A and B are shown apart, each in its own frame.
Chain A
């Protein structure tokens, strides 16, 4: 081998032009294919991007840990342990025990029950003058305008609104809004019942019925009479107009983080109608401010329940996002919803996490400002 290595003469010869061009074409083709595959990235997949310790965390069986945590905290505690145990938890996480509906700590069988405690009536006065009120206790993490179709997670890091709300491939945010509304148009005469009180959807949403133009027509004898058919047609088209993104409007977002000691039920932030519920059984990363800064696409990766609907200014959505300790999201008006289930299969591969999503029409669930909608439970 050494002899061959040393004695074999090196003879340089030009590469045929055709071969050279074919090689360059192959390189270019590979580059274009790579670029196109990134562009056509399936919106049902999210990339895990972050420092090395984020990748380590992403390999942990977080959903299993969450379910075990939930099961552990559902064990009935001995009565003698409840008062000191819950007081210790409250001291560590800053729970206000004075505003609990049932102040007797021995009545809470386990930490899960204590965690999902109710508040005294009147403990949270609702500001009815505001356009929007806080749906829960918590810290305002971020808020602002949706920039194009991207929502800012933190400064310099954003995620796709389409992925977050669960659009179909290549659809735009406006199309989701349009599709969501047109999928389940509720007749304007339909009545909704909230807490035993009946409302028309118009009054609940604050649409001004008085402003509807009344159409007139001449009858066979030349008299001016109301044109009911034209009125109905006009009202239908008015409704469709209401369901589009209106001129002069913009999309806003607001993120509220609930710490472990906070009251963990969420309420309606305004008068609105929830029309569709989408459940995305993603991962259950912590959503603490530290993790939000570390993991890009955190809100797209995590398990969440997307409620899509409309309020008096157009499109409205509310999204409770789960976390490792609180994998169970509960909706009072949707008993079929089950989150953090073992059956929800996840596929992993090359840094991608594929999650399943399920939609359900809610048949126009009316929600009043301050009304309890559901909450987060342990595990």
Chain B
């Protein structure tokens, strides 16, 4: 199963993750 997020955000939004990284629920995905 997969969860996909599609969202509008300011252009300075930055993902704080790497492809292939294992994340747990509640861990940050991005910051503005």
Q: How many A-B residue pairs have CB under 8 A?
A: 177
Q: Quick check: A254 and B29 within 8 Å, CB to CB? A: yes
B19 contacts A143, CB within 8 Å? Answer: yes
Report A71-93 residues with CB < 8 Å from chain B CB: none
Identify A318's interface contact among B5, B10, B20, B24, CB under 8 A.
Answer: B5
With an 8 Å Cβ cutoff, the count of chain B residues facing the other chain is: 30
The one of A127, A133, A144, A250 in contact with B9, judged by C-beta atoms closer than 8 angstroms, is A250
Q: Bound complex: CA of A376 vs CA of B19, how far in Å?
A: 23
Residue from B1, B8, B25, B26 with most neighbouring chain A CB atoms (10 Å): B1
Per-position binary interface string of chain A over residues 341-374, scored 1 when its CB falls under 8 Å from any chain B CB and 0 otherwise: 0000000000000000000000000000010000
The answer on a CB contact under 8 Å between A316 and B1 is no
Which chain A residue lies CB-closest to B32? A131
Residues of A within 8 A of B13 (CB): 131, 250, 252, 313
Q: How far is the CB of A146 from chain B (nearest CB, A)?
A: 7
Residue-wise, chain B 1-32 has the 8 Å CB interface mask toward A (1 for contact) of 11111111111010111111111111111111
Collect the chain A residues with CB atoms within 8 Å of residue B11's CB.
248-250
A253/B8 contact (C-beta < 8 A), A124-B24, A138-B22 known: no
Select A124's contact among B2, B16, B26, B32, beta carbons within 8 Å. B26
- 5 interchain pairs (CB within 8 A)? A140-B18, A248-B11, A257-B1, A258-B3, A316-B8
Which B positions have Cβ atoms within 8 angstroms of A? 1-11, 13, 15-32
